Amino acid sequence: MALRHLTSLSPVTLCSLRRRFTHKPFSLSVSASMASSFRKALVPIANGTEPMEAVITSDVLRRAGADVTVASVENQLQVDACHGVKILADALISDCADTGFDLISLPGGMPGAATLRDCGILESIVKMHAADGRLYAAICAAPAVALGSWGLLKGLKATCYPSFMEQLSSTATTVESRVQQDGKVVTSRGPGTAMEFSVSLVEQLYGKEKADEVSGPLVMRSNLEDKFIMAELNPMDWKCDNPQILVPIANGTEEMEAVIIIDVLRRAKAKVVVASVEDKLEIVASRKVELVADVLLDEAVKHSYDLVVLPGGLGGAKAFASSEKLVNLLKKQRESNKPYGAICASPALVLEPHGLLKGKKATAFPAMCSKLSDQSGVENRVLVDGNLITSRGPGTSMEFALAIVEKFFGHGKAQELAKVMLFSSQ
């Protein structure tokens, strides 16, 4: 088995969130009553929002039990986020003006962060929220573009996406931490730090025990000082010009996995088609984030693909397994020796029962690995066996997507994207 070291990463220990972040003491104490209480969070989004940052935050907070409202600052619920990802918000921001929240967290992305900044209703909500001494947060461009512009970082340490650090320096004391907490504000750097950022928000709302409980099933990296590794058996060349990639989604699909795969592959300039296996384009993902597909599967299966890759999520995987058209397309990929792949529950619930892992080694979500007939490769975070690629869960999705980028575009491109997304420092 060949172990491919994609890139080395900056140090951070996920199991010890408090030690990871440089911060002043957080004045909002985390008591037993707080940990068990109902918490409300607002995640505003706009056209041009970075979808990974918005979706990861919403998903992780909902896993902790928070009541998350994803609110559009546009004139309609559907938001066209970066990289062609379409998200349906739960509400318009005007519907949230009279609601109290325990947390407001702004995603980045441009021009999304600028649109958030220019939304008067949102500015008023966040300023009143901050004045009441409640927790607020921002990631990527949003700390500099929105919070800084509103004067909400004065005298505080904060971080943001590297290219906005100069702008941030005029409104805050800048630091280069992956996640930075100072008082009641938490800031972070980009898509590659979004999961750490989100788990840190869970810790501030509910305590460290809940944060650890949430982070465990995400299958996050144990130490970012380690190199993330793609294990490969029976290497074959996947490279082609302008790869056509199909990403099916369904009700119950794990939204972090779907969005990370779509976003990263489109950053690499792959032609990604998102197809709904339901009878409409809109799907409700596993943590209730609503996504909008490009086409229905009935239309998508009329075309050929260089890769068909399945996100996980229990409900979504079951829908994939029961879709005769999707299963037949996957079988055609295998028979043609063309790449196909799956992450989380999908290797065990879709590929295995339909004979698509026969003679192959694969990995899957830890609780699902017992369903694999060959479990000798399950400890790998990303495993490639010829034309098959599999992975474990939300916390391995970035590595999974970058491994696909490497197979189609080369190691250099994967490294470049990892650095741009702040998943890697090198």
Q: What is the pLDDT of residues 238-252, one digit of tens each?
A: 999 899 999 999 999
Top-confidence residue, 11 or 41: 41
Establish whether 119 is a catalytic residue.
no
Going by pLDDT thresholds of 50, 70 and 90, the confidence category of residue 11 is very low
Q: Is 132 helix (H, G, I), strand (E, B) or coil?
A: coil
Instruction: Look up tokens 């196909």; give the residue.
Output: 340
Question: Is the separation of the CB atoms in 70 and 89 below 8 Å?
Answer: yes
pLDDT in tens, 61-109: 999 999 999 999 999 999 999 999 999 999 999 999 999 999 999 999 9
Rounded Cα gap, residues 404 and 309, in angstroms: 10
Q: Is 388 helix (H, G, I), strand (E, B) or coil?
A: strand
pLDDT in tens, 177-226: 999 999 999 999 999 999 999 999 999 999 999 999 999 999 998 765 45
Instruction: Look up tokens 């989004």; give the residue.
Output: 45
Percent residues over pLDDT 70 in the chain: 89
Rounded Cα gap, residues 67 and 88, in angstroms: 17
**How many other C-beta atoms are found inside a 10 Å radius of the C-beta of residue 31?**
10
Residue 20's pLDDT is what?
Answer: 37
> Residues 82, 119, 160, 344: which is the catalytic one?
344
8-state DSSP, 25: P
Q: Is 210 helix (H, G, I), strand (E, B) or coil?
A: helix
Q: Is the peptide bond before 111 cis (omega within 30 degrees of 0)?
A: yes
